[in-house]
Structure 1
Amino acid sequence: MTRLPYDGVVLTAPVSVPYERYTNESAHWWIARALREALKKASVTPQELDGLSVSSFTLAPDTPVGLTQHFGISPRWLDTVPMGGASGVAAMRRAARAVQCGDVDVVACVAGDTNRIDSFRNLLSAFSRFSMDATFPYGFGGPNASFALLQDAYCHTYGATREDFGKIAVSQRANALHNPHAIMKKPLSLAQYMAGRMISDPISLFDCVMPCAGSEAFVMMREEMAVAKGLPYARISATIERTNAFPDDPMQLRGGWVVDIEELWDMAGHGPDAIDVLQTYDDYPVICMMQFEDLGFCAKGEGAEFVRRHDLTIGGGFPHNTSGGQLSVGQAGAAGGYLGLVEAIRQVTCTAGPTQVEGAKRAAVSGFGVINYDRGLCSAAAVIEGVNR
């Protein structure tokens, strides 16, 4: 089966509400701020907004249905995407088809979460039935221990070292120093990375993201509408999505991207060598390395050597996670699944400001999320391209 292209639908109005380490504001407040800013940027009134997609871990007891009353909007299309780090690309895929089919004219895709003193602990303790029954009661206080097993297996299988993962973290911190909204504002050296205390061997301090509060958003509409409004925008060249790939693998050393990667590049009409900037989901550096391989930038098992041979900073030959990624910007719950896509839209529309990669036209974005027990279940990827106007 040949998939239909995403003709006539575009991405615009990327918004990042500056993250905060802790807050007393609700998830509703963070989502509302991102939505308001995105609509203003897109020159769309709340009355004109007829589609809404929301991702959030801390919205309870409300759902996106309740948000419509809080916000005073009446959409004819409503979606919620509970796919963690894959939520941004997944939301974009669904919204794009809704606009393309005429079910809706304008969709705002928003993700946001709060972070109070005990929010992260409460989230982890009841994240899934697996976590409640099989990990948390036995001392696995979250994903660190699960990803430690994954990283240990990856290193033993492919020969990657802590220095290799450290280069990813250090490069992203260098990028974050250009981002005024990054939570982490101090330079990070490889020596500091290596001296970081062990959290769950071999996962150390700077392999981990900082939970925080924040929100991200973008708007999807028909291309002629974006042109009429004079908005900078990006087209969708290709997307893929997969849930629970390779369930029989005893340890997750590959993600669902592998199943559909040929389709991604076939649909895009080019290969990974045509990409100007890459945004991967970075809950841990080892997952970035897996994505370099599984997205086709290098062969399986060659991720460490790929990292050694490339400059991953904004001005380098392989710009990666140019905002600083979650490792340095922070992980604002479900907004972490939007962070890379929102930055990618800015990059290819040349609106990224201090993190802009010179000449960036095409971006690849990948998402990875929902570690239910021993592995991340959701994966997604997209290729987007800016339009010169």
Structure 2
Amino acid sequence: MSDKAYVVGIGMVPFQKPGKSESYDVMAAKAARTALEDAGLAYDKVQQAYAGYVYGDSTCGQRSLYRVGMTGIPVINVNNNCSTGSTALFLARQAVESGAVDCALALGFEQMQPGAIGAMFSDRVSPFAAFDEETDDLVGNADIPLALRYFGGAGKAHMDEFGTTLETFAKIRAKASRHAAKNPVALFRQEVTPEEVLQAQVVWPGVMTKLMACPPTCGAAAAIICSKEFAEKNRLDTSVRIAAQAMTTDGPETFNAHDMREVVGSSMARRAAEQVYEAAGIGPDDVDVIELHDCFAHNELITYEALGLCGRGEAAKLVDDGDNTYGGKYVTNPSGGLLSKGHPLGATGLAQCAELVQQLRGAAGARQVEGARLALQHNLGVGGACVVTLYEKA
């Protein structure tokens, strides 16, 4: 068994709107090559590859990586909804730590279409059928796109229980834009104020405006994971290692609690985070910088509580106190997050990884979190899976 897995190379391409990007295989190959170049490693040194995407035919991973090289290694295609990229990372890390391989590539990419995401197959039962039924029962509003009902419904549950206001979600979105303004690979780099967020097109009266939702995005990101022995032998950068990682799926509370926060994975995230904290011997107060799954401003808010960054019902206070940004207790989504950086489903988890590795290397430029030593990543997919990863400056 290896001690820890190290992230020795990262790469990503700037995210683009649907119709503006290159083909998925071109983007993916560029991200993989960039990660290899960042590591200073030849592709023929990689022993396994895990390729994540949601919308695509079988073996898109091979199509993408054959552009980098045809070395005959195993290429495993991964599809786990919005947590696909971090699932690929989870598998690569697991392969290295188990000793199955010394070096693995985790790759994520997505070529999306404009508009709200939806099912691709209408001739079979949907994997979201039970989630949809619970959502119908709890929030109704069948004329609103499903993803908005999921996460808007979760935010509304928080509003109903704790009196959280729409202004709080607007502050979260405005914070994302301020961070993204300093990120050259973010999709939306224009700063917006909370007032502008509130004045944007209303998509659910009293619950959500358009700017509180992430945009459909195309892009790719990658990471090279290896053992310390392999890194030292090949003279690679060992400054960042994965201190702990956990992946969880839904428990009975997802439907039994009759709470939209559970439908979108609040307890799933909480369990993953608790496993990571226990394995690493730390608490949430020890974390310096966080990339979390803000597909909607509402999900960022409920995730503060799920990750233990504050107590139950205290997320609005955390926002109002500025403890989610520079100068506060935590810096959340310095990249701009999904809300501003963009959300190409298969790439998101690895783009989060790239941001946090840059932060721990001290190479994040204007976004740098001073003195960052511990970085937490949260990547969620309804349906469902959640991966929480703790990176440590070695």
Q: Does 1:104 align with 2:101?
A: yes
Shift of residue 309 of structure 1?
1.7
Shift of residue 257 of structure 1?
2.4
Q: Distance in 2 between matches of 1:80 and 1:315?
A: 41
Q: Which amino acid aligns with 2:42?
A: T
Q: Which amino acid aligns with 1:19?
A: F
Which of 189, 193, 211 aligns to 1:189? It is 193
- Provide the residue aligned with 2:179 in structure 1: 175
Shift in CA distance, 98/91, structure 1 to aligned 2, threshold 3 Å: same
Across the aligned residues of Structure 1 and Structure 2, the Cα RMSD in angstroms comes to: 2.6
Q: Which amino acid aligns with 1:240?
A: A
Q: How does 1:1-389 map to 2 (within 5 A)?
A: 7-21=3-17, 22-23=19-20, 25-60=22-57, 62-69=59-66, 71-116=68-113, 118=114, 120=115, 123-126=117-120, 129=126, 139-201=143-205, 202-227=207-232, 228-245=234-251, 246-247=253-254, 248-253=256-261, 254-370=266-382, 372=383, 377-387=384-394
The answer to whether the 8 Å contact 2:53/2:84 transfers is no
Q: Distance in 1 between matches of 2:153 and 2:274?
A: 29
Q: Distance in 2 between matches of 1:79 and 1:125?
A: 23
Q: Which amino acid aligns with 1:221?
A: C
Q: Distance in 2 between matches of 1:126 and 1:203?
A: 26
The answer to whether the 8 Å contact 1:26/1:113 transfers is no
Shift of residue 200 of structure 1?
2.6
Q: Which amino acid aligns with 1:386?
A: K
The answer to whether the 8 Å contact 2:21/2:218 transfers is no
Q: Which amino acid aligns with 2:174?
A: V
Q: Distance in 1 between matches of 2:99 and 2:181?
A: 42
Q: Which moved more, 1:125-134 or 1:197-206?
A: 125-134
Shift of residue 338 of structure 1?
2.5
Local SS of the residue matching 2:156: helix
Q: How many residues align?
A: 375
Q: Which amino acid aligns with 1:36?
A: R
The answer to whether the 8 Å contact 1:183/1:328 transfers is yes
Listed as ranges, the gaps of 5+ residues in structure 2 are 137-141
The answer to whether the 8 Å contact 2:119/2:126 transfers is no
- Percent identity for Structure 1 against Structure 2: 23
Q: TM-score, structure 1 length as denominator?
A: 0.88
The answer to whether the 8 Å contact 1:234/1:348 transfers is yes
Q: Deviations over 1:179-223 (max 9, x none)?
A: 122221221111111111211331211111111211111110111
Q: Which amino acid aligns with 1:20?
A: Q
Q: Deviations over 1:220-258 (max 9, x none)?
A: 011133344242531122122111132312123223022
The answer to whether the 8 Å contact 1:349/1:361 transfers is no
The answer to whether the 8 Å contact 2:318/2:324 transfers is no
The answer to whether the 8 Å contact 1:28/1:59 transfers is no
Q: Which amino acid aligns with 2:6?
A: V
The answer to whether the 8 Å contact 2:250/2:268 transfers is yes
Q: Distance in 2 between matches of 1:298 and 1:320?
A: 13
Shift in CA distance, 82/236, structure 1 to aligned 2, threshold 3 Å: same
Shift in CA distance, 345/85, structure 1 to aligned 2, threshold 3 Å: farther
Local SS of the residue matching 1:145: helix
Shift in CA distance, 239/101, structure 1 to aligned 2, threshold 3 Å: closer
The answer to whether the 8 Å contact 1:179/1:324 transfers is yes
Shift of residue 316 of structure 1?
4.1
Shift in CA distance, 186/226, structure 1 to aligned 2, threshold 3 Å: same
Local SS of the residue matching 2:28: helix
Q: TM-score, structure 2 length as denominator?
A: 0.87
Local SS of the residue matching 1:322: coil
Q: Distance in 2 between matches of 1:263 and 1:212?
A: 31
Q: Distance in 2 between matches of 1:77 and 1:62?
A: 11
